Amino acid sequence: MTSFREYQQARAEGLVPDHTVAELPTDAVRFQGERAGLVNAQFDNDFLDRLVADPEGLTRISHTEYMREAGSEGIELIMWLIMRGALNAKVEPVYRFYHVPASNTGYGLVVLENR
């Protein structure tokens, strides 16, 4: 399988076993490099919304755009897409939290349940 869509199709056809996936990224995504300290809460919250409603659309964002909107380490958001690809096409957000602490990065947490 080479794409999110192919993975979802294989799941729908029963070719991929049903399983529970948890990913707990613990690394701040915007703390290094020339654009250190960039916090784009609008982009972050849009990303979290689309992780539920339009994950395939997120795959069309270029790496350059991720870095422009989310800072030099924002490319790590791709790991969130990998996690999302392991879930069903339809998910229910069970819990969502976003906060910008006194440090130089936003913090997001989302718990999704397969539907």
Q: Which residues contact 59 (CB under 8 A, 6 or more apart)?
A: 3, 4, 81
* Residue pair 66/76 in contact by the 8 Å Cβ criterion: no
The model's pTM: 0.72
Could you read off the pLDDT of 65-112 as tens digits, one per residue? Answer: 998 898 877 888 888 888 888 888 999 999 999 988 876 778 888 888
98 half-sphere exposure, CB direction, 13 A CA radius: 12
Could you read off the pLDDT of 10-29 as tens digits, one per residue? Answer: 777 777 666 555 555 544 44
- Ranges 4-8, 10-14, 30-34, 45-49, most confident: 45-49
Q: Give domain limits for the chain.
A: 4-22+38-114
